């Protein structure tokens, strides 16, 4: 039975033909990996085609095309695992990688028979009629040129425009020690836009963009890219007039959409299974306890169609799912891969992810967001006599063990007498994940997911993710400012 994939490409046939393998060789290889002291093993085949283009100062300065391929072998014994990989894939190198991984995991040495059986992914979230890699080179370059022209026409104070376009197709095949073979074809598109505004010697920057597991036309339909151009340019222009941010403890309102990156970093990572199995998370051993305001329900959902963080299956071949992490303030579960779920006696959630065949899978988020509440966003603002409204964030740092975080706001405003007023610069939010969740007193009815640009880093691995948030009010958060 052929796999259900994006388009007509069948991953199993693709890899067997490409590397001169067959079902028997897959069964023999995975059988040698799952020795008597090993709990399970898997093979992960990957072929990745990618293109990237960058524009600056009105010129497309870089255009790259890359192809990579390889296979990784993992053997798990207890809480230890061994991984090995090769980018020269054939039966001999796979056997060497398998022996290496088995030795690292300190597993036994006797082969175990495995019968290969083909499984179709349970989802079909991104079947595309036209793959973005098939778009002509001229169309891709023309889009970047149109972005530059539109941004400069938006306002004469826009002095420079940077735009980056990335497109890839990743084909994967996972063979595990149960004999299950699962394949997937994963498209991905990302457009990033930065505008620099300058006036009276002051220079400020604004950013925007979008994408997902979509066709190239997603960027151009209804001139969607022009909305992102306007967002980036307007953010830069508003920041030109920004005043120094105040400092102190105050009410903070987070806007919908991209500010969910704070939820992702300050809370989401602390809910990943490996940190909780090792008891290094602020949420360890707290399932069933109240960890947030009763207004908060936090979800990780890898099954939303065409979203950047969505997957038909994770990198262990497990179907992705909609996982309730926090329900009305009560901690309900963690994000799990195979190994940590087994060691914790919990169910897999389809969150085993890896950057490439050269990396080991680990529990990672997909699309993480808070469900909408009942408050009107305008009422949330009106309820704040004096405070801060954060509309967008840049970088941040989080300590998983303590839950403490520091985030820089790239677009923020004062709230004065219940109204959003002057833009501010240099605002930093300082807090603790569980404590901040417990101080949420209003949740808006305006849940929005980000536009599709998020990338998450963990232990040196980067994977595409999505975030989301409705407007929320946090009572009493520390704001680090630049106001004298």
Domains and CATH numbers, the chain: 11-240 (3.30.2290.10), 244-480 (no CATH)
Q: Give the chain's largest Cα–Cα span.
A: 74
- How would you class 104 by CB atoms within 10 Å of its CB: exposed for 0-12, middle for 13-18, buried for 19 or more? middle
Q: Distance between CA atoms of 335 and 281, rounded to whole angstroms?
A: 13
Look at residue 114 in the predicted model and tell me its pLDDT. Answer: 66
Other Cβ atoms less than 10 A from the Cβ of 462: the count is: 12
Pairing between β-strand 117-118 and β-strand 180-199 as defined by DSSP bridges:
parallel
Look at residue 34 in the predicted model and tell me its pLDDT. Answer: 74
pLDDT tens for the 484 residues of the chain, in order: 333 334 468 999 999 999 999 999 998 888 887 765 788 899 999 999 999 999 999 999 999 999 999 999 999 988 999 999 999 999 999 999 998 998 887 755 445 566 677 787 889 999 999 999 999 999 999 999 999 999 999 999 999 999 999 999 999 999 998 889 999 999 999 999 999 999 999 999 999 999 999 999 999 999 999 999 999 999 999 999 999 999 999 999 999 999 999 999 999 999 999 999 999 999 999 999 999 999 999 999 999 999 999 999 999 999 999 999 999 999 999 999 999 999 999 999 999 999 999 999 999 999 999 999 999 999 999 999 999 999 999 878 889 999 999 999 999 999 999 999 999 999 999 999 999 999 999 999 999 999 999 999 999 999 999 999 999 999 999 999 877 5
The answer to whether the beta carbons of residues 362 and 354 sit under 8 Å apart is yes
**Residue 220 token pair:** 């151009």
Pairing between β-strand 466-469 and β-strand 367-370 as defined by DSSP bridges:
parallel
Q: Distance between CA atoms of 335 and 322, rounded to whole angstroms?
A: 10
Residues linked to residue 406 through DSSP beta bridges, in sequence order: 397, 430
Distances (CA, A) of 340 to 277, 332, 335: 7, 16, 9
Q: Distance between CA atoms of 138 and 321, rounded to whole angstroms?
A: 38
The answer to whether the beta carbons of residues 320 and 314 sit under 8 Å apart is yes
Look at residue 32 in the predicted model and tell me its pLDDT. Answer: 83
Q: Distance between CA atoms of 309 and 457, rounded to whole angstroms?
A: 13
Q: Distance between CA atoms of 194 and 197, rounded to whole angstroms?
A: 10
Q: Distance between CA atoms of 222 and 7, rounded to whole angstroms?
A: 25
Pairing between β-strand 419-425 and β-strand 243-244 as defined by DSSP bridges:
parallel
Task: Return left, alpha or beta for 297; rule: phi > 0 is left, psi -120 to 50 is alpha, else beta.
Answer: beta
The answer to whether the beta carbons of residues 191 and 164 sit under 8 Å apart is yes
Q: What is the pTM of this model?
A: 0.94
**Structure-derived torsion over alpha carbons of residues 401, 337, 258, 121, reported in degrees to the nearest 10:** 180
The candidate with the shortest Cα–Cα distance to 263, out of 101, 447, 424, 413, is 447
SS3 assignment, position 82: strand
**Residue 308 token pair:** 């950047």
Query: Where is 161: in which H helix or E strand?
Result: strand 158-176
Q: What one-character-per-residue DSSP string does 109-156 give?
A: --------EE---S------SS-GGGS-HHHHHHHHHHHHHHHHHH-T
Residues linked to residue 103 through DSSP beta bridges, in sequence order: none
């Amino acid at each position: 039975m052929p796999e259900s994939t994006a388009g007509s490409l069948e991953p199993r046939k693709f890899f067997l033909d490409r590397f001169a393998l067959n079902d028997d060789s897959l069964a023999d290889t995975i059988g040698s990996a799952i020795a008597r002291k090993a709990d399970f093993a898997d093979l992960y085949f990957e072929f990745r085609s990618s293109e990237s283009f960058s524009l600056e100062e009105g010129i497309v300065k870089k255009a790259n095309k890359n192809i990579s391929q390889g296979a990784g072998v993992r053997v798990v014994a207890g809480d230890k695992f061994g991984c090995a990989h090769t980018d020269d894939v054939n039966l001999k190198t796979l056997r060497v990688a398998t022996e290496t991984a088995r030795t690292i995991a300190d597993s036994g040495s006797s082969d175990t028979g495995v019968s290969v059986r083909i499984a179709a992914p349970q989802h079909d979230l991104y079947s595309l009629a036209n793959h973005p890699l098939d778009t002509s080179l001229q169309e891709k370059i023309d889009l970047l040129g149109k972005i530059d022209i539109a941004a400069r026409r938006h306002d004469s104070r826009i002095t420079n425009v940077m735009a980056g376009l990335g497109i890839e197709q990743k084909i994967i095949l996972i063979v595990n020690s149960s004999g299950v073979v699962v394949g997937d074809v994963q498209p991905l598109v990302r457009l990033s836009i930065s505008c620099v505004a300058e006036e009276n010697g002051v220079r400020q920057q604004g950013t925007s963009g979008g994408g997902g597991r979509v066709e190239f036309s997603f960027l151009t339909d209804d001139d969607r890219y022009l909305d992102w151009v306007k967002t980036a340019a307007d953010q830069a222009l508003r920041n030109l007039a920004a005043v120094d941010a105040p400092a102190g403890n105050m009410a903070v309102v987070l806007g919908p959409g991209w500010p969910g990156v704070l939820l992702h970093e300050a809370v989401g990572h602390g809910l990943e299974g490996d940190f909780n199995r090792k008891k290094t998370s602020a949420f360890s051993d707290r399932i069933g306890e109240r960890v947030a305001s009763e207004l908060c329900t936090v979800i990780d959902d890898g099954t939303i169609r065409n979203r950047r963080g969505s997957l038909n299956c994770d990198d262990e071949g497990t179907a992705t799912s909609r996982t309730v992490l926090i329900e009305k303030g009560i901690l309900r579960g963690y994000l799990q891969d195979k190994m940590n779920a087994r060691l914790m006696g919990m169910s897999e959630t389809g969150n085993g992810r890896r950057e490439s065949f050269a990396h080991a899978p680990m529990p990672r988020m997909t699309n993480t967001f808070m469900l909408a509440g009942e408050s009107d966003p305008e009422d949330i603002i009106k309820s704040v006599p004096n405070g801060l409204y954060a509309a967008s964030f840049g970088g941040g740092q989080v300590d998983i063990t303590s839950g403490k975080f520091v985030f820089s706001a790239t677009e923020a405003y004062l709230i004065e007498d219940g109204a959003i007023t002057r833009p501010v610069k240099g605002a930093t939010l300082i807090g603790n994940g569980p404590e901040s969740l417990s101080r949420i007193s209003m949740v808006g009815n305006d849940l929005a997911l980000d536009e599709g640009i998020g990338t998450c880093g963990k232990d040196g691995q980067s994977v595409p993710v999505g975030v989301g948030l409705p407007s929320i009010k946090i009572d009493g958060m520390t704001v680090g400012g630049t106001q004298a």
